[in-house]
Amino acid sequence: MRAAEATTPQVTTQDREVAILAGGCFWGMQDLLRKIPGVLETEVGYTGGWLENPRYEDTHDGESGHAEAVRVVFDPRKLSYADLLEKWFFRMHDPTTLNRQGNDRGTQYRSSILYTSEAQRKTAEEVKARVQASGHWKGPVVTEIAPESSWYKAEDYHQDYLEKHPGGYSCHFLRAWQ
């Protein structure tokens, strides 16, 4: 296995912006996120923990503090950050379950938005409040909103996993609310 390299995602121009989202197993998240109009690229990885150069074996039990996450590069002229969160992220996972999605349990499966700018932080807080007030979810939205931290790309076999393994495990789907 290769050693992960720490990077800080720093892409913010007129036609490219980065969002870092965690909402359970990164396979299902990536599979849905890559299909959104305006998304340019996706990459799965680990972030938000204390262990440097984590591997899957270090994160799947929650011992590293890292969450499984997806780094999303999108075109903000075609997809706003607010829409990415409100129309997609908060619909594709259950943001009311603390450290859990489906059968996956542990802090590595937490719901988290890791903002890359003060503008993203503000937007994330506003969208979270709207989603909470909407009544679409029965319980309180527990999604954490935190500053970005070092990004560690996951092993190659995790990248585009559900494209390589159609019908593989995923607890993610888009809820039908508008």
Q: Which positions are annotated as active-site residues?
A: 25
39: closest CA among 81, 93, 95? 81
β-pair type (17-23, 111-115):
antiparallel
> For the stretch 104-116, what's the b/e string if a residue is b when 16 or more beta carbons lie within 10 angstroms of its beta carbon?
beebbbbbbbbbb
Count H helices and E strands in the chain, helices first.
6, 9
